Amino acid sequence: MTDNPVTIRLFAEADVTGVRTLFIKVNRLLAPPDLKDAFEDYIVSSLLEEIDRVSDYYRERLGSFWVAVSGRDIVGMFGLEPSGPDAMELRRMYVDPGQRRRGIARTMLEFAENECRKADMRQLDLSTSEIQSDALSFYINSGYELVREEVADTASNKTIGGGIRRFHFVKML
């Protein structure tokens, strides 16, 4: 663990390796033993569709992507993209497992909420899965309201599929 302060800044093309590495690391750690192959497929398709083309992906959706940096290391990341006329969706919020419990997620979430407010967005939407119990607790404790649950059977760049329950939250800003 490092004592360096965390800075949040817009993604730059030089960050692609760090973002890619963090995405793969977190998703491999999340993979239950019976879904390892499904997670590997999800990683490959998400890299191709989104992570390896972050700038284009978020620009095409009129969104933005940020990294949390400590020293020279990317310790967190997240994206925002429109989800309605006055709403944004928080995407890909990950913290490096070795850097957790330092307030990085809270800092990123507050930053994302403030970015939405600056853009006159009144609502922030997000989702997470049942295998991310820390994230579930974090979002509930951060004032997010559970609005929907679903079981994702089909994989996409937003869900692994495999019958994992997904929880959708909203917060009015």
Token pair listed for 61: 């959706």
- Which residue shows structure tokens 């400590």? 70
Give all domains of the chain, ordered by start, each with its CATH number: 6-125 (3.40.630.30)
The 10s digit of each residue's pLDDT in 40-91 is 999 999 999 999 999 999 999 999 999 999 999 999 999 999 999 999 999 9
Spatial distance between the Cα atoms of 25 and 22, rounded to a whole number of angstroms = 5
The 10s digit of each residue's pLDDT in 102-151 is 999 999 999 999 999 999 999 999 999 988 989 999 999 999 999 999 88
